[in-house]
C-alpha cells in the first residue's frame, strides 16, 4: 500500500493487480497479424502520459489506484488537491511514478516504458545534434 498526504490526511493507494486490470482495460490496441484481437495497454498509455506531465492522467491513475481503499476519495478531492497552490505537482508526479516503478504488478511495464522513452529521447537528441552540425 502506498500513501500520499492530501489536505492533511494520509490517503492510501494500491498499485496491485486490481489496479493493473482496471487501468489496462481503458485503452486497447489491435494485435499485429491477428484479426479481431486486441491487447489492453492502458498502463503503458498512462505511464507515457505521466512522463509527459499530463495532469489529467495523474488524476486518473490516482483515482484508479484508490479504488477499494479506505478512505475512498473522489475526483473532486483529487482535483482540489491538484489545484491547491501548496501542492508540489512535480513531487506528486515523481512519487506516483516511483510507486508504479516499485509495485510488483506494474514495475516491469513501467520500467520498459521509461526505458523506451529514454531511448527515443536519445535518438532525437542525436538527430538534432547532427542537424545542427550540418547547418554549421
* pLDDT value at 65 more than 90: yes
* pLDDT value at 136 more than 80: no
Q: pLDDT tens digits, residue range 86-98? A: 999 999 999 999 9
pLDDT, residue 4, reads 95
3-state secondary structure 81-109: HHHCCCCCHHHHHHHHHHHHHHCCCCHHH
Q: pLDDT tens digits, residue range 6-36? A: 988 899 999 999 999 999 999 888 888 788 8
Look up the pTM and report it.
Answer: 0.86
Contact 66, 59 (CB under 8 A): no
Output the nine-digit C-alpha cell for 58: 495523474
* pLDDT value at 70 more than 80: yes
Amino acid at each position: 500500500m502506498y500513501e500520499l498526504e492530501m489536505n492533511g490526511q494520509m490517503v492510501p493507494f494500491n498499485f496491485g493487480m486490481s489496479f493493473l486490470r482496471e487501468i489496462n482495460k481503458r485503452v486497447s490496441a489491435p494485435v499485429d497479424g491477428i484479426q479481431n484481437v486486441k491487447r489492453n495497454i492502458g498502463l503503458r498509455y498512462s505511464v507515457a502520459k505521466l512522463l509527459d506531465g499530463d495532469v489529467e492522467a495523474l488524476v486518473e491513475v490516482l483515482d484508479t489506484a484508490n479504488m477499494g481503499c479506505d478512505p475512498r476519495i473522489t475526483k473532486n478531492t483529487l482535483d482540489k488537491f491538484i489545484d491547491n497552490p501548496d501542492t508540489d505537482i512535480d513531487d506528486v508526479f515523481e512519487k506516483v511514478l516511483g510507486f508504479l516503478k516499485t509495485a510488483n504488478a506494474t514495475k516491469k511495464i513501467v520500467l520498459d516504458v521509461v526505458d523506451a522513452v529514454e531511448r527515443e529521447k536519445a535518438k532525437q537528441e542525436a538527430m538534432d545534434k547532427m542537424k545542427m552540425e550540418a547547418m554549421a
